[in-house]
A and B are shown apart, each in its own frame.
Chain A
């Protein structure tokens, strides 16, 4: 079955440590997204990528980094510069890439990141 897989489901980070959240899709979608979800804050856009080897910052990119070397993969690294990383992270994808306006998002099941 096609879909988006996020791993791990739960992740713990120590002070000063970088951690990487995985997002893989087999839907052949061009566009991929990372959102952060905090209680009462909705979904806030961290980074998005419309084609391979290209990505743009969202509203809260500071302290995060991404790469898009393959169409099916869009990993998110939470760096030590992100001082408040505890949140639920959602990855999403959709068809169309640069012409994706009329395409819906497919979401993964999320990763809960907590600080030790």
Chain B
């Protein structure tokens, strides 16, 4: 069952912040975050493995609440290059079964 991402789309001005949420109905081993630009392959951002784990990647960070089976991706001081579709991928139950949400389309305007 696909994890649920919200919002489906968001439009920002450069320098604004955004939060993308990902929730699952199943217990999770890990949460992956990827960004895909139109016509290109998804690019890895980060993996979170433990409940409560937080990670950062430049001005992009994420948290993982294992109990709530949720993860959030935080984008601060957004740049034009952050535009794209963000996907969370979750792995739980059957190891190796890495499934993705429907994505959140982020558009950053000048």
Contact = CB atoms under 8 A, between A and B. Distances in A.
Q: Do A and B bind each other?
A: yes
Contacts of A52: none
Interface residues of A, number: 27
A100 B98 CA distance: 10
A30 B3 CA distance: 25
A74 interface: no
Contacts of B44: 104-106
Interface string B1-34: 1100100000000000000000000000110101
Q: How many B residues are at the interface, by size bracket?
A: 20 to 34
Nearest to B1: A59
Contacts of B29: 101
Nearest to A91: B41
Interface in B35-89: 40-44, 47, 49, 87, 89
B88 to A, nearest CB: 9
A101 B30 contact: yes
Interface of B: 1-2, 5, 29-30, 32, 34, 40-44, 47, 49, 87, 89, 91, 94-103
